[in-house]
């Protein structure tokens, strides 16, 4: 790594940027620690960041191995926290969470163990909450006359589509929407 390049890298401390031959491991460690200070990251995310900063692969692997040894980088803990947070804040279902974890570089056993924490009941509860939140303050046609039936069908499709985009299986999405809309009719 040339110092010219390192001066342009914001993650490199000043005392290393001026060094004509800084220790690549020190630079990599600094980059990783700064990345982790912002938020937890998967190993692959950190590998990509180090590659972007042109850290040699062997140095990056050694630094990340050491970070795993001291548990600063832990894909299974990252996956569990990611799943818990995204399911709670975004209402995502297991399918969408699995895809997002894969995009972050966490798949296989680490992802599946994290996803086991979501029961079918909690997934359904989250779907009901999403639909109810979307319906707050909006009148839902009762479906008695043909015109209101069309509007009701449109509302069902939109709500089921919203759940599908969040990773809910089609059967569950449609069932939840119908249950919630049925409950509204009963009120």
pLDDT digits (tens, 9 = 90+) for 53-66: 999 999 999 999 99
Mean pLDDT score, 85-105: 92
pLDDT digits (tens, 9 = 90+) for 130-147: 999 998 877 766 666 677
- Reduced DSSP (H G I as helix, E B as strand, rest coil) percent helix, strand, coil of the chain, to 5: 70, 0, 30
pLDDT at 143: 60
* Residue with the larger pLDDT of the pair 31 and 9: 31
Q: Structural domain boundaries of the chain?
A: 3-69, 75-115, 120-186
CA-closest candidate to residue 127, choices 79, 83, 85, 171: 171
What's the rounded Cα separation, in Å, for the pair 65 and 127?
39
């Amino acid at each position: 790594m040339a110092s010219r390049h390192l001066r342009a890298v914001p993650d490199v401390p000043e005392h290393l940027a001026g060094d004509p031959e800084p220790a690549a491991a020190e630079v990599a460690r600094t980059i990783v620690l700064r990345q982790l200070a912002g938020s937890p990251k998967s190993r692959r995310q950190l590998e990509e960041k180090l590659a972007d900063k042109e850290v040699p692969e062997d140095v990056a692997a050694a630094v990340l191995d050491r970070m795993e040894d001291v548990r600063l980088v832990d894909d299974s803990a990252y996956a569990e926290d990611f799943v818990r947070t995204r399911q709670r804040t975004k209402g995502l279902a297991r399918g969408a969470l699995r895809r997002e974890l894969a995009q972050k570089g966490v798949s296989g056993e680490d992802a599946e163990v994290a996803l086991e924490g979501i029961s079918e009941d909690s997934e359904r509860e989250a779907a009901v909450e999403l639909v109810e939140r979307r319906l707050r303050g909006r009148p839902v046609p009762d479906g008695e006359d043909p015109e209101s039936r069309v509007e009701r069908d449109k509302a069902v499709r939109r709500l089921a589509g919203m759940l599908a985009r969040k990773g809910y299986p089609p059967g569950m999405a449609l069932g939840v929407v119908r249950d919630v809309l049925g409950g509204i009719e009963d009120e």
